[in-house]
Amino acid sequence: MRNLKWIGVALGMLAGASAARADGPKELWHYYAAGSEKAGIEALIAFANKQNPDNQIVGKVIPGNAVEMRRQLQTAFMGNTPPAAYQSSMAFELKTFVDSGKLHDLSETWAKIKGDEIFPEGVQRVVKVDGKPYGIPYDLSLINNIFYSKAIFEKAGLQPPKDYEGLVAVCDKLRAAGVEPLGNAGGPFWSLYNFYAPLVSSVGTEGYYKIASGELGFDSPEFRKALELYRDTMVKCYAKNWSGKTWTQTADDVVNGNTGMFMMGAWAAAYFKQAGFAPVEKFDVFPAPGTEGKAIFQMDAFAVPEGPVDTLETAEKFVISAASAEGQATFAVPKGSLAPNVTVDPSIYDAVGAKFAKQLADASKANAVLPNLFFLLPTKVGTELGVQLEKFAIDPSDANESELISTLESLRQEAQAEGAYLKW
């Protein structure tokens, strides 16, 4: 009896500890570990917690990117220990967990925030699966612009190029002046994002979506043309040893006057500002050749796993705060991104941010807003596309081009046979 008494006490203590944990702050998983990204997410969490004092959220950094987040979530779902909410990319990155029944349908939350009114149609399309919203957009960045150092350009007597011939000419002049022409960074995304400009130039907007839906093959003449354009222009311009650098290190090369241009997402603008590299005065941007009048965007959303009622309540209150005009501005200003919520006052942006906002608005009117292809593709196809593009950018040999095409085309055909492709 005495042993049973102590077992009962121990179980009571464990139950109390479990309840204390349940009543405490809930976790938001994200991969914003440094710089302007870290500043943005911390500002947003503080804003949401101030609005919801009884439903606190704490951030937890998952080092890496969307791919690593997916791996960590898969482990967490297996152990029934997912966070209250997490940073997700769009389209297939959401669908993967929707199909396995792991995500909470946000239809009621969407109605409360009037999602169909505050978010553009193109944005809504990539956070809904089978017509139901599973993500709340909060972080949109254009990825088809090239940043450049005004001092380097002025010293060399250069103007932003309008086409690929002009880009190569600028690169040649910069290299002759002892400056690395075009920065890049290692990893499965950055070379891929750069490749979108040659891709759209070669296949057009319609062809871009045909690749996304699996209708246009990786062995098609159009895709081969895009690879060759990328090889003969951007890859030719890349700085030495770029593959060993992070994007922030390459941004530092621009700040320090070692590199003239850097094609990177809009978030680089905030990083430059934090480094004392002022927009318009020290740096500016221009659309990558072939993307004038277009907006290719990367966007993150907050997704909410299924869970206990109290956890879902906290997650819902957090995403409602994050979707509000004030919440989106709180994040966008330090992060250097665009707010997907169209009710956000455009005066929050600096001169370069205002350029991005206008670019997005104009492209929206022209129906020329293109989501990041990586996330429109079935996961295994998009992942391999990023891997193969980086390998090709490092060594654009005929052998690597052939391997890229054959590997991706094989995956495309497999995904088609499995019915994995969708039209977003």
pLDDT tens-digit readout, 209-223: 999 999 999 999 999
> What's the rounded mean pLDDT across residues 356-372?
87
Is there a single domain that holds both residue 283 and residue 198?
Answer: yes
Instruction: Flag whether 286 is in a domain.
Output: yes
Question: Residue 73 in contact with residue 306, Cβ under 8 Å?
Answer: no
- pLDDT cut 70: percent of the chain above it: 95
Could you read off the pLDDT of 77-106 as tens digits, one per residue? 999 999 999 999 999 999 999 999 999 999
Model confidence at 372, in pLDDT bands (50, 70, 90)? very high
Instruction: Flag whether 366 is in a domain.
Output: no
Is there a single domain that holds both residue 261 and residue 164?
Answer: yes
Evaluate if residue 3 carries a pLDDT over 80: no
- The pLDDT, as a whole number, for residue 364 is 81
Is there a single domain that holds both residue 175 and residue 285?
Answer: yes
- The pLDDT, as a whole number, for residue 199 is 98
Is there a single domain that holds both residue 317 and residue 209?
Answer: no
Measured distance CA(15)–CA(7) in Å, rounded: 12
Is there a single domain that holds both residue 252 and residue 391?
Answer: yes
Is there a single domain that holds both residue 183 and residue 323?
Answer: no
- pLDDT cut 90: percent of the chain above it: 84
Evaluate if residue 6 carries a pLDDT over 70: no
Determine the length of the chain: 424
Instruction: Flag whether 87 is in a domain.
Output: yes
Evaluate if residue 417 carries a pLDDT over 90: yes
Is there a single domain that holds both residue 232 and residue 283?
Answer: yes
Q: Is 119 helix (H, G, I), strand (E, B) or coil?
A: coil
Phi-psi category of residue 285: left, alpha or beta, with phi > 0 → left and psi -120 to 50 → alpha: beta
Is there a single domain that holds both residue 282 and residue 340?
Answer: no
Evaluate if residue 174 carries a pLDDT over 70: yes
Instruction: Flag whether 113 is in a domain.
Output: yes
User: 257 φ, ψ to 5°?
Assistant: 80, 15
> What is the span of the domain harbouring residue 409?
145-296+372-417
Could you read off the pLDDT of 181-198 as tens digits, one per residue? 999 999 989 999 999 999
* Residues contacting residue 189 through CB under 8 Å, at least 6 positions apart: 65, 374, 386
| From 32-36, 131-135, 207-211, 291-295, the region with the lowest mean pLDDT | 32-36
Measured distance CA(365)–CA(378) in Å, rounded: 28
Evaluate if residue 262 carries a pLDDT over 50: yes
Evaluate if residue 271 carries a pLDDT over 60: yes
Model confidence at 341, in pLDDT bands (50, 70, 90)? very high
Model confidence at 67, in pLDDT bands (50, 70, 90)? confident
Evaluate if residue 361 carries a pLDDT over 70: yes
Helices marked H in 231-372 — which ranges? 236-237, 247-255, 267-274, 309-323, 325-335, 351-365
Instruction: Flag whether 119 is in a domain.
Output: yes
Model confidence at 288, in pLDDT bands (50, 70, 90)? very high
Evaluate if residue 26 carries a pLDDT over 80: yes
- The pLDDT, as a whole number, for residue 366 is 85
Question: Residue 165 in contact with residue 229, Cβ under 8 Å?
Answer: no
Mean pLDDT of the chain: 93
Is there a single domain that holds both residue 275 and residue 318?
Answer: no
Instruction: Flag whether 251 is in a domain.
Output: yes
Evaluate if residue 175 carries a pLDDT over 50: yes
- Number of structural domains (the chain) is 2
Could you read off the pLDDT of 373-406 as tens digits, one per residue? 999 999 999 999 999 999 999 999 999 999 999 9
Instruction: Flag whether 243 is in a domain.
Output: yes
Model confidence at 23, in pLDDT bands (50, 70, 90)? low
Instruction: Flag whether 123 is in a domain.
Output: yes
Measured distance CA(387)–CA(219) in Å, rounded: 17
- The pLDDT, as a whole number, for residue 369 is 85
Q: Is 95 helix (H, G, I), strand (E, B) or coil?
A: helix
Is there a single domain that holds both residue 318 and residue 257?
Answer: no
